[in-house]
Amino acid sequence: MTDPADLSAAELTDEYRAGTLSPVEAARAVLARIERDDPKVNAFCLVDADTTLEMARASADRWRRGAILGPLDGVPVSIKDVLLTRGWPTLRGSTTIDPSGPWTEDAPSVARLRERGAVFAGKTTTPEFAWKGVTDSPLTGVTRNPADPSRTAGGSSGGAAAAVAAGMAPLALGTDGGGSVRIPASFTGTFTIKPTYGRIPHYPASPFGTLAHVGPMTRTVGDAELLLDAVCGPDARDWSALAPPDVPFRPAPGERDADLTGLRVAYSPALGFATVDPEVAALVAAAAETFAELGAKVEEADPGFGDPVEEFEVLWFAGAAKVVEHLTPEQFAALDPNLREGCERGARYSALDYLTATARRMELGRIMGLFHDRYDLLLTPTMPIPAFEAGVDAPAGSGSSHWTSWTPFTYPFNMTQQPAASVPCGTTAAGLPVGLQVVGARHADALVMRACAAFEAARPWS
């Protein structure tokens, strides 16, 4: 009999509906998996079994009465520890935040899941203030990759990705300011999408500004569709939130379209400037061929912009300086050393520096807008490398200790606010997962999800 912890969200609700499994049994299975496996990977920074089981019992009662709150009622979900969660502290991986609270408010995405009856499995780890592309912090230590615990799970949503990959909850909420759901999804062999900016409302507003997105992290595209349907739509606290999508992301039974005939797809092996590991390059090239087999018109093409890392770093490190501006000198000294250096750098930028970087960002948006007049989708590697050693900020030979030195495919699309998904597309000879990035024009989230679902159907991953 399949362990309930290994079932997808869709499979769980099928079982609930049939009466062959209850939300309480699913919650107990997830808690048992966390107890068994989390010491190996360190995905969770908070587990509150009493609250989890209380939520599961309330869901089980709704299922018995035929009064469920939606398709995620009773499904376990983890929450990245930068998203406010009523009743639980949100410490953001930092020793500088007082855990006593009070913690009286949910972030919009968390509130929508609570309203729809999801069962909160706990809060997942993040680097301090979610600032970098691996997950370790002075508060919670190192988060590791379930595929190989000697390797990093990536970041900054590394705890969320590790929890999903290890069956410690089928759904997770992460955030992405420069790749923070896509980096760990690629490293752990899970699915994610960074939606168009504003598609999922975000509150409190991120100090990193409009770079920061909330994103679902799951084992299947179908589960991500369910999660998107639950958390998209406006929230009065987020002035930049978009209107609800016109149609659900999750197709009705029998309506899923796996045919990509006529879709115009650009495949860019390196965006014109990145260096890619040969095994990663080969797996991504094979994935692009699968799109052609599904009917898409695939051709190799670069968008035509150079690496915007310098401008991104102005925006990013200025945001980091804003995050910590309230800290005392003693608290500042206790920060992650690389974060401290980045904040000092960010504080030195002028308003002119910031506006110059913003102008570069706007130019990238123009370039990509015109690019998507010619191509519906852009395919790239999600990451140029497989997961590297856990406990370090950058792989050997990267030339910098900052995470931006090894993530060339992710941060450009935070600058342009486009939807960008990471789909597992194979493993290296060492068994390390590799991700394919699927990028669409702004507001083309549904198209990106449809293409990812078609790829998943043609190239299923376990």
Q: For the chain, which residues make up each domain, given as ranges? A: 4-231, 264-458
* Per-residue model confidence (pLDDT) at position 410: 98
The span from the CA of 91 to the CA of 219, in Å, is: 26
Query: Residue 396 is which amino acid?
Result: A
Residue 462 has pLDDT above 80, yes or no: no
The residue from 156, 157, 206, 422 that is catalytic is 156
pLDDT for the residue numbered 76? 99
Q: Is the pLDDT assigned to residue 443 strictly greater than 90? A: yes
**Could you tell me if residue 405 is left (phi over 0), alpha (psi between -120 and 50 degrees) or otherwise beta?**
alpha
pLDDT recorded at residue 257: 84
Catalytic residue among 22, 109, 180, 268: 180
Higher pLDDT, 1 or 354: 354
Q: For the residues 292-308, what does the mean pLDDT come to?
A: 98
Say if residue 22's pLDDT is above 90: yes
Are 139 and 94 spatial neighbours (Cβ–Cβ below 8 Å)?
yes
Q: Which residue has the tokens 């450009």?
A: 412
- Residue among 434, 418, 6 at smallest CA distance from 220: 6
Q: Classify 264-458 by CATH class.
A: alpha beta
Among 297, 287, 292, which residue's Cα sits nearest to residue 437? 287
Residue 422: its H or E element: strand 420-427
* Cβ atoms of residues 27 and 37 within 8 Å: no
pLDDT, tens digit, for every residue of 274-297?
999 999 999 999 999 999 999 999
**DSSP three-state, residue 298:** strand
pLDDT at 253: 86
Q: Is 80 in the active site?
A: yes
Confidence check: pLDDT of 254 > 90:
no
Query: Which CATH number among 3.30.365.10, 3.90.1300.10, 3.60.60.10, 1.10.10.10 corresponds to the domain 4-231?
Result: 3.90.1300.10
CB 409 within 8 A of CB 259: no
pLDDT above 90: residue 173: yes
Region 322-340: mean pLDDT is: 96
The mean pLDDT of the chain is 97
399 confidence band (pLDDT: 50, 70, 90): confident
For Cα atoms 8, 194, 149, give the angle at the middle one, nearest 5 degrees: 60
**Exactly one of 22, 59, 78, 80 is catalytic; which is it?**
80
Position 103 scores a pLDDT of 98
pLDDT in tens, 38-95: 999 999 999 999 999 999 999 999 999 999 999 999 999 999 999 999 999 999 999 9
Confidence band of 418 (pLDDT split at 50, 70, 90): very high
Question: Are 4-231 and 264-458 in the same CATH fold?
Answer: yes
**314 pLDDT tier (thresholds 50, 70, 90):** very high
User: What is the per-residue burial (b if ≥16 Cβ within 10 Å, else e) of 288-316?
Assistant: bebbeebebebeebbbebeebbebbbbbb
Phi and psi at residue 277, to the nearest 5°? -55, 135
Does residue 156 carry a catalytic annotation? yes
Instruction: Return the percentage of the chain with pLDDT > 90, whole number.
Output: 97
| DSSP 3-state of 97 | coil
